[in-house]
Amino acid sequence: MDITIRPEAPHEHRTVEELIRAAFWNLYVPGCDEHYLAHIMRSHPDFCHDLNFVAEVNGAIAGSIMYTRSRLIGTGAERLETVTFGPLSVLPAYQRKGIGSALIRHTLPLVKAAGYHAVIIYGNPSNYVSSGFIGSSSFGIGSPEGAFPTALLVLPLSDTLRSSRGWKFYQSSVFEYSKTDAEEYDTQFPPMEKRHQPSQEVFAILSRSFVQ
């Protein structure tokens, strides 16, 4: 399968949001909000326009990756600039075929060249350790509350992370969106059935688990 990765064009916003909706629908919760997140992310000051890419298969968009700026704050108020990707989306028919990994591999050199110290995400470890991500507790990187979520994963791009400074991770404020606004935005798309499925319980377990 030939995969072509290129920047997203402005006229493709709706197509990409439809892709994201299809990729995440009923995955973590009945329905999804990720397409609304993508919609508001593009106009947010933390959005990394130069890291916004799509993957084409046979001339049609099959995947997408979007990044926002994030940061680490140390115990002495030291600050390190990082980035977070998400949504990382692949159409259901093309999942588990290497498209998501290809999008990560394509963008990582650009992230490093831009001077960011790490890529930090919340995700299922089984999906990302093969791309080099490590549990955040290995670097002493915790949540703003000082805990070490199992789902908080780090791909280091700088030796600075190895210093023991009690890092706390802060993602972009774009993730603090209104669920009501997300539901309203979803009404602009064709109806899809909301239902429960096992992946939602996996997500719930990971969301509540921490490394001691």
Average pLDDT over residues 18-40: 98
CA-CA distance, 30 to 137, in Å (whole number)? 31
Over residues 125-171, the pLDDT tens digits come to 999 999 999 999 999 999 999 999 999 999 999 888 877 678 999 99
Span of 58-62, 74-78, 129-133, 196-200 with lowest mean pLDDT: 74-78
Q: Residue 164: what pLDDT?
A: 67
Q: Please report which confidence band the pLDDT of residue 187 belongs to, taking 50, 70 and 90 as the band edges.
A: very high
- CA end-to-end distance (rounded Å), the chain: 42
Q: Percentage of the chain surpassing pLDDT 90?
A: 92
Domain limits of the chain? 3-172+196-207
Residue 54: name the closest of 27, 17, 97, 26 by CA. 17
Q: Could you tell me if residue 90 is left (phi over 0), alpha (psi between -120 and 50 degrees) or otherwise beta?
A: beta
Q: Which of the two residues, 77 and 42, has the higher pLDDT score? A: 42
Q: Could you say which of 3.40.630.30, 3.40.50.970, 3.60.15.10, 1.10.238.10 is the CATH number of the domain covering 3-172+196-207?
A: 3.40.630.30
Return the H-helix or E-strand segment holding 12: none
Report residue 56 as tokens.
């084409």
